[in-house]
Amino acid sequence: MTSVTQAVAATPHPLAGKRMTGAEMLVQVLADEGVDLIFGYSGGAILPTYDAVFRFNDEQVGDEGEAPMRLVVPANEQGAGFMAAGYARATGKVGVAMVTSGPGATNTVTPVRDCMADSIPIVVICGQVPTHVIGTDAFQEAPVSAIMGSVAKHVFLVTSPAKLEETVRTAFEIARSGRPGPVVIDVPKDVQNWIGEFRGTGLLPIKSYRQRIEAVQENALSASEARAFFKLLGDARKPLLYVGGGAIHGEASAALSRFARRFQIPVTTTLMGIGAFDTTDSLALKMLGMHGMAYANYAVEDCDLLIAVGARFDDRVATDPDTFAPNARRVAHLDVDASEVGKVRTADWYHVGVLERDLDALTSWGERHKFDADFSAWLAELEEMRRVYALNYDRDSKLIQPNYVIEELNKHAKGEAIISTGVGQHQMWAAQYMDFKHPRLWLTSGSMGTMGFGLPAAVGAQFAYPERLVIDIDGDGSMRMNIGELETVTTYGLPVKVLVLNNFGDGMVRQWQKLFYKGRMSGTDKSLHRKDFIKAAQADGFEFAVRLDRKADVPRVVKEFVEFDGPAFLEVIIDPDAGVYPMVGPGLSYSQMITGDHIPDRGERDPDATPGGSSMF
C-alpha cells in the first residue's frame, strides 16, 4: 500500500491510538512502507531507533526466525548509503540507510549526492542531537539540513514530534514519485524518545509538489501530439532512439521494446540507460557517448531523426552540444522532467509525462492508423557499421587484456547477471563488453562517477536478490575506496563475486594524461602497489581468493570464479597500458572520436584537434 493510499484509507490503522515513542512510530511507518532491509551504522543519537528496530523484529519474527526488518551493518556509513542505492537500483524500491549524527550523517553525503545525480530513490534517516542543543556545537552535531540541502531531493529536520509520522511517510512519497531521488530525515534524539499517540495515517501538506507530480501523471499524450510525432517519423529515413536512465526509473523498458520493435527503430542507450533495451537484440546499438561504441556514435552522426527517451543530453553524450547529431533535422523528446526538455538541445516535438504510458500510446496510435515506414536500408547500413567498427583490442598480446577477461565473464553471465562497478576504465570495459537482457541489472555510478561504489552496491543488490548472480567488476583504485565491505560480504554469507582488474594505478586518469597532458603523470605515479588484495580478501574470510596473471588460464579461472558456491574474489593482473577505446575527448564532436589501434574509424578525425574547456572524465 502506498503512502498516498494509506493517507486516504477508510480503514483505520490497526495500531491507531496506541501510545508509542517517536522511534517506535518511525519504525512502524517504515514497516507500513514495506521496508524489510535497513543498511546502517549505529551511534548515540540514533540508538533509540535502533533499539526500536530490535524490539519490532523481536515481536514480529516469523516462524522461520527471520527478522521482518533486517539490519545490515556495513564497515562505514558511506557503505550503508551505497548499499541502499544498490538495493534501490536493482529493485526499483526505496532503499533505506540509517546512521547516527555528526560524522555518521556526513559520511552519507557522497551516496546522497550520487543518488541525486542518477535519480535513485533512497531515504537516509539520521540521528541528531536533542533539539535544545542544536546549534551549540554539541558532541557529534552536524548541520545536516545545510549540508544535505544542496545535494538531496529534499531534507526534513523533525523539530515537532507530532509531525514525525507524516514526515516519514512524505519522505518516501517524495523519494519514489516523479523523478526519483534521495530524501534525508534528520531526527533529534528527544524526538525519538518522545511518547505520543500513533495515528497511522497522514502526510505533510506539500501541495505544490503534488500538483506538479499530478500534472505530469495526468498529461496523457493527445491524438494531435501522436499525429505530429508520426509525421516526423514518416518524414525520416534514419530514425534513432536515444534512451537514458529515465526509461528504467519509469519502468518503461517493456513499452520501449514494444515501440522500437513494432516500428523497427534502432536503439542506443546512455551509460545509465544500459539494460533499458536488450543489448543482444538486433536493433540494439548498445552504448553511445564518450566511450560508446564507434558504430553507435556514427549512427548518431548519421541519423535524421533523434528520439530521446528519458535522457538528458549530458556532457558524456553530447560532448559538444552544437555538433551532436548534426544531421538530425528533427529532435523528439519524451521525459518525466520538464526541466530537461530543451536544456541542452532544442526539441522540435516533446511530451512531458509518464514514459511507459506515453510510449504505449504512441505504439497504439501507430497501429490503429496503420503507420508503415520502411527503415530496412537504414538498418542494413547500421548492421554493416556494426561489423566494420566493432569493438576490438590487442588479441595477440602476451599480457592479459581486460577486454578479454570481460568477454569471458560475459559468456557465463549470459546477460542475466547483476553487474555493479566502481568508476574508471574497468567501468567502461564492463559497459562495452557485458550484455544486459533486462533493466536493473547494471548498477554503476554515472553522473557523480564515485569510486568505491561497486562493492557496497553489489552487497545491496545481493540482499535484494539472494539467489541471483551478482558480480562487482572493479579496479584496484576503486576497490581500495571501500575495501572494508569485503568483510560485510562474508559476515552475511553473501555469494557476491568480486573481480578486480589490477593495472596498478588510476588507469583512466593515466589514459587522459597520456592523450591530453603530454604524458605528465601527475599524481598517478604514486606507488600504491603494496596492497596484497588476495591476503586482504582471505583475511576477510573469502575462501576463493585467486590472483590470475597468466593469459592461458583466463577461461578456466573465470569459470571457476563464477561457479564457486559462495563469496569469491578474483584479482586479474592486466596490461597496465590498456586503454578504453573508442574515446571522444571533452568538448569534441563524434567525428573526432579516437578509436585506438584496433578499431577502424571513418578517417574524419583532425589529428590536431584538442579537447575543449571541459576536463571532465
Q: State yes or no: pLDDT of 615 exceeds 60.
A: no
Q: State yes or no: pLDDT of 5 exceeds 60.
A: no
Residue written as cell 559476515?
491
Residue type, 124: V
Task: Give dist(CA 197, CA 207) in Å, integer.
Answer: 26
Evaluate the omega torsion of the peptide bond into residue 188 and state whether it is cis, within 30 degrees of 0.
no
Residue written as cell 548499499?
83
Taking the CA atoms of residue 119, residue 432, residue 281 and residue 418 in that order, the dihedral angle to the nearest 10 degrees is -60
Radius of gyration for the chain, computed over Cα atoms and rounded to the nearest angstrom? 25
Same domain assignment for residues 291 and 165: no
589 assigned to some structural domain:
no
Same domain assignment for residues 59 and 82: yes
Q: Let me know if 39 is a catalytic residue.
A: no
Task: Note the pLDDT of residue 262.
Answer: 98
Same domain assignment for residues 371 and 408: no
Q: State yes or no: pLDDT of 613 exceeds 70.
A: no
Which residues touch 116 (CB under 8 Å, ≥6 apart)?
151, 152, 153, 181, 182
Task: Give dist(CA 83, CA 60) in Å, integer.
Answer: 24
Grid coordinates of 165: 509520522
End-to-end CA distance of the chain: 42
Task: Give dist(CA 279, CA 431) in Å, integer.
Answer: 11
Among candidate residues 179, 209, 239, the one where a domain is terminated? 209
Pairing verdict, β 349-352 and 330-335: parallel
Q: Let me know if 551 is a catalytic residue.
A: no
Residue 607 CB-density burial (10 A; 0-12 exposed, 13-18 middle, 19+ buried): exposed
Same domain assignment for residues 236 and 346: yes
- Provide the mean pLDDT of the chain: 94
User: Whose CA is closest to 348, among 368, 328, 366, 362?
Assistant: 328
Q: Kindly state the percentage of the chain with pLDDT values over 90.
A: 89
Same domain assignment for residues 371 and 424: no
- pTM: predicted TM-score of the whole model, two decimal places: 0.94
249 assigned to some structural domain:
yes
Q: State yes or no: pLDDT of 115 exceeds 80.
A: yes
Task: Note the pLDDT of residue 53.
Answer: 97
User: Whose CA is closest to 541, among 570, 562, 567, 560?
Assistant: 567
Same domain assignment for residues 117 and 78: yes
pLDDT band at 471 (very low <50, low <70, confident <90, very high): very high
Grid coordinates of 506: 588510476
3-state SS track over 398-444:
CCCCHHHHHHHHHHHHCCCCEEEECCCHHHHHHHHHCCCCCCCCEEC
pLDDT band at 608 (very low <50, low <70, confident <90, very high): low
Backbone angles phi, psi at 67, to 5 degrees: -70, 135
pLDDT band at 612 (very low <50, low <70, confident <90, very high): low
**pLDDT tens for each residue of 400-448:** 999 999 999 999 999 999 999 999 999 999 999 999 999 999 999 999 9
Q: State yes or no: pLDDT of 209 exceeds 80.
A: yes
Residue type, 59: E
Q: State yes or no: pLDDT of 249 exceeds 80.
A: yes
26 assigned to some structural domain:
yes
CA 198 to chain centroid, in Å, comes to 36
395 assigned to some structural domain:
no
State the total domains in the chain: 3
604 assigned to some structural domain:
no
DSSP string, 259-280: HHHHHT--EEE-STTTTSS-TT
Taking the CA atoms of residue 195, residue 197, residue 198 and residue 199 in that order, the dihedral angle to the nearest 10 degrees is -150
pLDDT band at 25 (very low <50, low <70, confident <90, very high): very high
Q: Look up the CATH number of the domain holding residue 332.
A: 3.40.50.1220
Task: Give dist(CA 24, CA 31) in Å, integer.
Answer: 11
602 assigned to some structural domain:
no
**pLDDT tens for each residue of 141-186:** 999 999 999 999 999 999 999 999 999 999 999 999 999 999 999 9
pLDDT band at 611 (very low <50, low <70, confident <90, very high): low
Q: Let me know if 139 is a catalytic residue.
A: yes
Among candidate residues 145, 176, 209, the one where a domain is terminated? 209
Of the residues 434, 451, 508, 593, only one is catalytic, namely 508
Task: Give dist(CA 569, CA 565) in Å, integer.
Answer: 12
Q: State yes or no: pLDDT of 101 exceeds 50.
A: yes
541: number of Cβ within 10 Å: 15
Of the residues 77, 141, 407, 571, only one is catalytic, namely 77
Edge-first strand order for the sheet with 497-502 is: 442-443, 418-421, 470-475, 497-502, 568-573, 544-548
**pLDDT tens for each residue of 481-516:** 999 999 999 999 999 999 999 998 887 888 878 877
Same domain assignment for residues 423 and 489: yes
Q: Let me know if 508 is a catalytic residue.
A: yes
Same domain assignment for residues 236 and 262: yes
Of the residues 18, 54, 140, 504, only one is catalytic, namely 140
Which residues touch 108 (CB under 8 Å, ≥6 apart)?
77, 78, 80, 81, 97, 99, 124, 126, 184
Task: Note the pLDDT of residue 528.
Answer: 62
Same domain assignment for residues 166 and 36: yes
343 assigned to some structural domain:
yes
Same domain assignment for residues 123 and 199: yes
37 assigned to some structural domain:
yes
Task: Give dist(CA 165, CA 437) in Å, integer.
Answer: 40
User: Whose CA is closest to 536, among 480, 614, 463, 497?
Assistant: 480
Q: Look up the CATH number of the domain holding residue 136.
A: 3.40.50.970
Q: In b/e form, how buried is each residue of 89-106, taking b as 16+ CB within 10 angstroms?
A: bbbbbbbbbbbbbbebbb
DSSP string, 294-325: HHHHHHHHH-SEEEEES----TTTSSSGGGSS
21: number of Cβ within 10 Å: 21
Residue 481 gets the label, from left (phi > 0), alpha (psi -120 to 50) or beta, of: alpha
Contacts 24+ apart (CB under 8 A), 479-482: 479/422, 479/454, 479/455, 479/533, 480/452, 480/528, 480/531, 481/422, 481/451, 481/452, 482/75, 482/76, 482/78, 482/79, 482/82, 482/452, 482/453, 482/455, 482/456
Same domain assignment for residues 200 and 225: no
Of the residues 60, 66, 139, 383, only one is catalytic, namely 139
Of the residues 93, 189, 238, 286, only one is catalytic, namely 189
Grid coordinates of 178: 516523479
Which residues touch 401 (CB under 8 Å, ≥6 apart)?
393, 394, 395, 574, 575, 578
Grid coordinates of 508: 583512466
Same domain assignment for residues 410 and 537: yes
372: number of Cβ within 10 Å: 8
Q: Which residue has the higher pLDDT, 156 or 520?
A: 156
Q: State yes or no: pLDDT of 7 exceeds 90.
A: no
Which residues touch 63 (CB under 8 Å, ≥6 apart)?
none
State which residues form the domain around 144.
Answer: 3-209
3-state SS track over 139-183:
CCCCCHHHHHCCCCCEEEECCCHHHHHHHHHHHHHHHHCCCCCCE
Backbone angles phi, psi at 459, to 5 degrees: -60, -50
Q: Residues 347, 313: contact at Cβ < 8 Å?
A: no
Q: State yes or no: pLDDT of 567 exceeds 50.
A: yes
